[in-house]
Amino acid sequence: MEFLKTLGIEGINPGTSTGRKHHESKETISSFTPTNGDKIATVGVTTREQYDQVVEEAQKAYKVWSQMPAPQRGEIVRQIGQKLREYKEPLGKLVTYEMGKIYQEGLGEVQEMIDICDFAVGQSRMLYGKTMHSERPQHRMYEQWHPLGIVGIISAFNFPVAVWSWNAMIAAVCGNVMIWKGSEKTPLCGVAVQKIVAKVLKENNLPEGIFNLVTGDREVGEWMTEDERIPLISATGSIRMGKEVAKTVGGRLGKSILELGGNNAIIISEDADIEMAIRATVFGAVGTCGQRCTSTRRLIVQESVYDQVKDRLLSIYENISIGDPLDENTLVGPMIDQGAVDQMQNALKEIEKEGGKVITGGEPLDEDGFYVKPAIAEVENHYDIVQEETFAPILYLIKYKTLDEAIELHNGVKQGLSSAMFTLNMREAENFLSARGSDCGIANINIGTSGAEIGGAFGGEKETGGGRESGSDAWKAYMRRQTNTMNWGDSLPLAQGIDFDV
């Protein structure tokens, strides 16, 4: 395919930072497209020797990169954003072809990379500290922020390029260098992005070790989390994985940013604009075939409008176009692999076993690729299967009577990423956004759970991990704070009025 050639993807690709003289990897990962199961290409798995060489080169690059003024680092990030604009179409197609999300979403993911580059360029001139008044005469106090060093980024298959950029571009303007391990299910996306970024570094005579790529399974990720040379690990994935990362990184007193599971809900009030709520629900529930961390999993509906919402959803689900994600008429592409399809089928069986009812969809389609019909099920919030995050297009319908009950149901799961409420009632809206309302990191009124903008800090509470990436002041997570005191006088007064003469 032409877009693969444009991105420099070959039949066999190095999985460790391109342009390096590493020993050839004997082990490889094959990338398969979920659209029809065909093999796309192979990628070399990073060996331990290669990994250590990458870390060493990253350390060398850090000495150069961290000494550049932040606005100059921002200029390099600006050029990366410009290069991504040039490659937006082929990279968007690769995201679609390797991951399975529809082409519009693939393009949107690359646009998100471009947007975060633009944001980071501005941030490079706003790494602000504070000044404080000292209690001692002729003293000045202030704080400043310094880079950490190497930032390790472990990303998931569902956003194979965007989540890396949230971390990498902000961390870069802060003066850090990056080592990235993407998902073994989407390794070509990492290879393609590495090649794009390497062009910018080469054009500016900068060391390639500023941005680094390693490829492999859990073992490579464990090397990173155990490595004391990497002070910060930003990991996106399952709750189970996140707990292991937190334990390992915390055990060496390192820092971590965790973006883990979401079990996101929309509350639809009797005072909602129903059609608006339905549109947001469908996009959140079936977009990316239900494989977003912000996918809408639970729909908590006021009993007076429950049947109306249910009937409208059923009519839409009957006509959703499922198929080749590169076809512009498709709304739902495939799941990532057969394992994901099997997980969905197991969840549907568990729903029925616990007393729920699947009222539409769920069955795999009889064709090449990993296609399923999005499902809707009537359930109770306390079911074990509802309490879990099934990474699949299953939407749970739940009734409520009062607002207090709705909020209790909403918050009654262990995850706390994204949330939404549809209502035209100001009191309901303010209740949902108050301290007694949504307990999630993201809470929206009259928009869905998916589609966060890069300007806000992204992340969640409870078992979602508590991390924050992307906008607002998330940049502080990639830096260390330093408090400074400057004595410009000719005496040495002590704080708290302590008298200590010698």
CA distance 390 to 384: 11
259 is catalytic: yes
Q: How many H-runs (helices) and E-runs (strands) does the chain carry? A: 15, 22
Angle (nearest 5°) at CA 98 between 105 and 373: 65
CA distance 80 to 132: 37
Of the listed 57, 259, 389, 469, which one is catalytic?
Answer: 259
CA distance 116 to 164: 10
Specify whether the CB–CB gap between 294 and 417 falls below 8 A. Answer: yes
Q: How far apart are the first and last CA of the chain?
A: 80
Strands annotated E in 15-63: 28-32, 39-44
How is residue 488 written in tokens? 């410009």
The residue assigned the tokens 């089928």 is 345
DSSP string of 206-239? --GGGEEEE--SHHHHHHHHH-TT--EEEEES-H
CA distance 257 to 233: 6
Strands annotated E in 63-207: 131-133, 139-147, 150-154, 177-181
Strands annotated E in 329-470: 357-360, 375-378, 394-400, 415-416, 418-422, 442-445, 457-458, 461-462, 469-470
Active site residues: 259
